[in-house]
Structure formats: structure tokens, C-alpha cells
A and B are shown apart, each in its own frame.
Chain A
Amino acid sequence: MSDTVIKVENLSKAYQIGQIGTGTVSRDIERFVRTRVLGKEDPFLKIGEANDRSKKGSSDIVWSLRDINFEINQGDAVGIIGKNGAGKSTLLKLLSRVTSPTTGQIGVKGRIASLLEVGTGFHPELTGRENIYLNGAILGMRKKEITRKLDEIIDFSGVERYIDTPVKRYSSGMYVRLAFAVAAHLESEILIVDEVLAVGDAEFQKKCLGKMGDISKGQGRTILFVSHNMAAVQNLCSRGIVLKNGAMSFDGNVDMAVGDYLKQSISSGIIDHNVTRVGNGAIRLREIAVYGSDRHIKPQTGQPFTMEFSFDNPNFVDIGDLGFDVRIDDYLGQRIAWFSNTILPSSRTGTVESLRFMIEKLSLNDGLYYVTIQATVQKQVADWIQNVYSFEVSEGDFFGSGKRVPSAQSKVVMDFTVK
């Protein structure tokens, strides 16, 4: 099928940042006179720069999205990924008509249902059943449509017992289940989902993903899915669009899109000269690089992994005299793994200025990790720096099954078989 259902052309969205208040009236009048009366270009739109929040800009207009072009075909499942502030949410807001673009346009065939949040418009005083109707109507369902699907919705939500209780008495999990159940039963041709899976327990998340997979693969409907959960994106989508600072940086196969995204998040590891360190300085660490399958790719569970340490070796210490220990802790400070060049059988000699620790298949689960190093020369501490570097591991398909070990369950992933 190659029916285009969404066509985005030159789509841009500018935002004014900073205070809106004093001077608004005079600026509004100025804009109006310039554009409408004198017929000039809108000064509001002329200035502006890419949206990079870490740099200080010179104007208070930013382009949250700039010149986005893409087409989506009937039945596609497209993942939209990018760092915080890359423009993902803005794109979804434009697609779901919550706000309108500054320039460009979007053509849509069929009904769009967007889930930027679960439970939009739920009223705490109303019962579960009443809220199903209210929320369904807000999302664009007709009353009889909801009535027809009511049993199915209640069944999917799993809160049948409380369906006639006001939702303010619900636990947050029940609330979310009910809300997602309504949304999952929308009969729209295009479904837009934003990170809603970050809620609910693991079992329900699985159910949601399953339902979404069913919607896209089973029913041939189009899905746009925004998430930071790379494993979920890779599992659900066949195509990925990567946004970076408001522009499209990649569009294509989902695995390559994820790679492109991970590439963006690598950080330089030059050791700060005023870092707290202990040791006689016989050798001193200069730079660390931690990366995945190649130098530009962020570590990912189940993928190749490398930690590279470069150091100053002014006295030409021989590797035989050098002990280089690396410890990895998780973000809570729990010790997870330890490596050292001394525990491997080695007959290597000669002076060195860098060491690379390589793992074929990374068994760290997704999350943030800290590196502590200790270098000894002839058993004397030469350089010892705690938590010198941090790196992030992204979700990956360790088992080749599209499923992953929940990071809340374990920090490590091991190969295993079940018989």
C-alpha cells in the first residue's frame, strides 16, 4: 500500500520565549501595522534561530520546528525520536491540531486521534462509566459508538468492579488503565501516541504495546509513536524519524534511526584538570571515551561496547608494571562490574598511552552508570578518580526477541536458555 495519509510540507513553528507581558500591546500593534497595513514581512518571523537550549540565543524567537517535510503512508508505524526539546511534542501538537503551524501545512486523510496524555478531561466526580463517555466524546467518538464498545473498553481496562465509582477514588494505576482503554478503542484511521506508556505497571505497559501493535499490524491503521523507550520504538515501528533541534536529522529504517539518535548523545570525556584525584601521578588519566558499536554510537544493551582510556605516561611505564582497574557503578552507587588489565592472561610488554576494554555483547541494562578508575604502578597508587565519568546505556534487543529485561528488575542482562 502506498496511499499517503499524512503529508507534511515545509512545516515550521516559531515560539516566543521569555516574558510575555509588558510591551505586548505595542509590539502587537507594530506587527499589525507592518504586516497588514504596509504589507511587509512579519518582523516576528524574520529573526530567529535554531532551537538549541544549551546556548544563549540573541533573540527571543526560537524555531521549535523548521522546514519539516515527510509523508506517511497508510498502515505505517512511525516512531518519532529525539532528545528533549528536539521538537517531538511540537510536531505532535501540530498534527493533533492543538496549535497551528507558523508556516507550511499538513494534509491529512482520515480521522486523527491523538493521545498526548491519557485521561484528558476526566472529571474526578464522575464515575468510571460516565468518564468513558466524556473522554470518548472529547477524543471524537459519537455516543452510540462508545455504547457499542463499552463492554470491550471496561473489559480491557480491568477495573470492572469500580466502574460505577467516582474516579477520584481510583488508584493512579486504575485511572490510567481506564483512560488508555478508552483511547485504544478509538476508531480513527490515524493514531498519535506520546509517551503514554511511561505509566502503569509492567504488565499493563505490555498490554498497551500489544494493543498498539495490533492496531498497526493487525488492523492496518497508521500509528505515530513518540517515545524515549528505544526498545519499544524498535519493536513497534518499522520507520523512524529523528528530530534534532527542530530539524529532521534522519528519516528511514527504524534501527538506523535509533542509531542516529544514539549518536547524538555521546559526550566528550576529557578529564577536567581540577578533578579530585589521589595518587603519585606516575601516570595520569587524560581522556575517556565510552561508546557502542562504533565511536559515534551510544552504548546499547546487547551491542558491542568499548571503554577507551587515554593517559599521560611521562615516565614510560611498562604495561607489565601497570595495573589499570575500572569499576562501573549504577546511579545509586551500587557496584555492578569490575575490570582490570591484570586479571587477563597477558604477555604484552612495552610502554602504553591508552587502553581499550572491549565487550562483544554488552550485558548492562539501560540506565545511567558511573566509572571509577584506579591506576597503580608497581602496586603504588598512581591515579585514582572516583566517578570520573558517566555514560548512559540505551535499551537494546539483547535476546533478539524484541523484548527486554525491565531495567527496574535488573541492572545486568545475561544470556540464558529455557528448557
Chain B
Amino acid sequence: MDPKPNEEQWDLVIKGHSSLFDLKFADVWRYRDLLGMFVKRDFISFYKQTILGPLWFFIQPIFTTLVFTFIFGNLAGIQTDGLPQPLFYLCGITAWNYFSDCLTKTSTVFRDNANIFGKVYFPRLIMPLSIVVSNLVRFGVQLSLLAVMMAYYAIAKPGSFEISGALLLFPLLILLMAALGLGAGLIITAMTTKYRDLTFLVTFGVQLLMYGTTVIYPLSEAKSKFSEYAWIIEMNPMTGIIEAFRYAFLGQGNFTLASIGYSAIVTLVVLFAGVVIFNKTERNFVDTI
């Protein structure tokens, strides 16, 4: 907007079309209290009227680890880079869960909140951001499970794994997972306001994607068995992140600056595209949902 001379100065101009890159981050910042409020709401409403309460955060990864250890570790006999199997799987699952929770929950933001979005204005980006932050709480709790498991192995089988210096990259890894899940989720939720088909894709797509990521097998194993197809797995930006995550915590994994750099670039592109598309859809989605 370039105001003509003598034109009045408005605090806010509401109009049909605005620049694609008017991302309203200032607005998001002004409503930061709301973000905190949503996170608190999610957390409280999650365990209210349950007996086990926050314990439910542990149950899912424990059982998944048990099943994976049995099926992929023992029945299928997939190598785990020499790491204890439960530790290997739990590490992958914890990281993957965070990413997939961010993705699946943000991918239904418009549909789930159609009612509230239809009644009151606040920067819509607050909602998916609050989901990412809420999931962070859950991720933190699950991470403590991993820590307990690592402590157990450190005592029972000393030397079976080692924490590497890459742990310093841990905050960056979380940021990348959150941003990638958020960005992809934003793109999907924006598209699903008009085309509901994508909702069906997301549920099993995320599941399939897990097998395309190095959650249940190490990248080294994929490379040695299917050397000509391993690039597909390497192209998956989550592979670099999970491998780095495992390297940081357990000392084994295909961690290179190139792979993590590639993941970071893809993440930035996806996130940017997601935010732009989301903001564009947000303006009128109430009419189509």
C-alpha cells in the first residue's frame, strides 16, 4: 500500500487482495499470549478425566518399541548399526512421532477450527504454531523415556552406545522437525479446505513415509542392500534429521553436514511455501469449508 497524498492514515485496511508475502508476523507476535493459552488448553484437556493422565504419553512409544523390536529386529532381522535394538527403535520413534504429530495435527487446522475461525479474528498462524508447541511438551516427556532407557543401557551394557558431540545440534534438529512438519501440514490444511481428498492421503501417507525414512532401519543398511535405490531414502529430508538425531544420542548414524544441510534447505522451502499458502487460504477459507 502506498498511501496517496492527503489520504487518511488507517491503522488497518481490509481488502480483497494483498501481497502474497504479507505474512503478518507482527500480528502473530502481538497475539503471543494466545499461543500460550492454547498450549495450556491442549495440555489440560488432554489428561482431564483420564486415570493415567500424562502417563499416556509413555505408553504409545513403549509399545511401539516392543513391537518393532520383535518384528523388525528379531523376525525380519534388520541390522541396527550395532546398537541395542530397543534403544535404536525408541530413538527413531521419538523423533518421528514429533514430526508426524506436527504434520498430522496441523494438517487439519482449518477443518477442526472452522467454527472458531468463522467467528473471531486472530492471526490464524497462532493455531498451528500452538500445535507445534503443544507437541513439544509431549516430545519432551517422551525424550525423558529415552533418557531412562539410555541410562539403563549405560549401566547394564556399558559401551553399547555413546553420546556424541552432535548433541549440541539437538535444538536445531527439533527446530527442523517442527518446521518441516508445520510447513507440510500448512500446505495440506490449506489444500483440504477445498479438496477434502488430501485428508485421506495424510493418514496413511504419513505411515508410509515412516517406512521411507530411516526409523526402523539405519541408512547404512539400506545403502548396502539396495545401493541403487538408497538415494530415494536420502532424498527424504526427514532421513537426514533422524540419522543426525540418532548419531547425536547414540553415536551411530549417517551424519554429514551435507545431509543435514540438505534437510535444512528443504525444510526452509517447505515452511516458507506453507506459510504463504496458509496465509492466502486463511483470508477466504470460511466461505469454502
Contact = CB atoms under 8 A, between A and B. Distances in A.
A110 B11 contact: yes
Interface in B1-44: 8-16, 31, 33-34, 36-38, 40-41, 44
Most chain A CB within a 10 A radius of its CB, from B11, B34, B40: B34
A33 to B, nearest CB: 17
A46 B74 CA distance: 66
Interface in A82-97: 93-97
Nearest to B288: A20
A133 B41 CA distance: 11
A16 to B, nearest CB: 8
Interface of B: 8-16, 31, 33-34, 36-38, 40-41, 44-45, 48-49, 116-122, 194-195, 283-284, 286-288
A4 interface: yes
Contacts, number: 109
A108 B12 contact: yes
A130 B36 CA distance: 12
30 contacts: A4-B8, A7-B8, A16-B287, A25-B195, A96-B120, A97-B121, A98-B118, A99-B283, A99-B287, A100-B16, A100-B283, A100-B284, A102-B16, A103-B16, A106-B14, A107-B10, A107-B14, A108-B10, A108-B13, A112-B12, A123-B45, A133-B37, A134-B41, A137-B31, A137-B33, A137-B34, A142-B33, A143-B33, A143-B36, A166-B48
Contacts of B40: 130
Contacts of B283: 99-100
Nearest to B10: A107
Contact of A107 (B13, B195, B284): B13
B287 A106 contact: no
B15 A106 contact: yes
A97 B117 CA distance: 10
A114 interface: yes
A202 interface: no
Contacts of A130: 40-41, 44
Contacts of A299: none
Contact of A95 (B10, B14, B31): B14
Given A101-B16, A120-B120, A109 B11 contact: yes
Most chain B CB within a 10 A radius of its CB, from A7, A105, A139: A105
A85 to B, nearest CB: 16
B221 to A, nearest CB: 41
Interface of A: 4, 7, 15-16, 20, 24-25, 28, 93-112, 114, 116-117, 120-121, 123, 125-126, 130, 133-134, 137-140, 142-143, 166
Nearest to A100: B283
Given A97-B14, A101-B14, A107-B8, 12 more contacts: A4-B8, A100-B16, A106-B13, A109-B10, A109-B11, A116-B120, A120-B116, A121-B116, A125-B48, A137-B34, A139-B120, A142-B33
Nearest to A121: B116
A125 B44 contact: yes
Nearest to A20: B288
Nearest to A96: B121
Most chain B CB within a 10 A radius of its CB, from A99, A110, A120: A99
B196 to A, nearest CB: 9
Contacts of B121: 96-98, 114
Contact of A100 (B14, B117, B118): B14
7 pairs of A and B residues whose beta carbons are closest in the complex: A105-B15, A107-B10, A97-B121, A137-B34, A106-B14, A100-B283, A143-B33
Contacts of B116: 120-121, 138
A247 B287 CA distance: 20
Contacts of B12: 107-109, 112
Contacts of B48: 125, 166
Most chain B CB within a 10 A radius of its CB, from A98, A105, A110, A125: A98
B11 A120 contact: no
Contacts of B286: 93, 98-99
Contacts of A97: 14, 121
Contacts of B9: 109
Given A20-B194, A123-B41, A123-B45, A117 B119 contact: yes
Nearest to A122: B116
B130 to A, nearest CB: 11
B45 A126 contact: yes
A110 B10 CA distance: 8
A29 to B, nearest CB: 12
A99 B288 CA distance: 11
Contacts of B287: 15-16, 99
Contacts of B15: 100-101, 104-106
A7 B11 CA distance: 12
A345 B34 CA distance: 73
Contacts of B16: 100-105
Contacts of A142: 33
B4 to A, nearest CB: 13
B119 A98 contact: yes
Contacts of A137: 31, 33-34, 37
A246 to B, nearest CB: 15
A226 B284 CA distance: 22
A165 to B, nearest CB: 13
A114 B120 contact: yes
Contacts of A105: 13-16
A102 B258 CA distance: 46
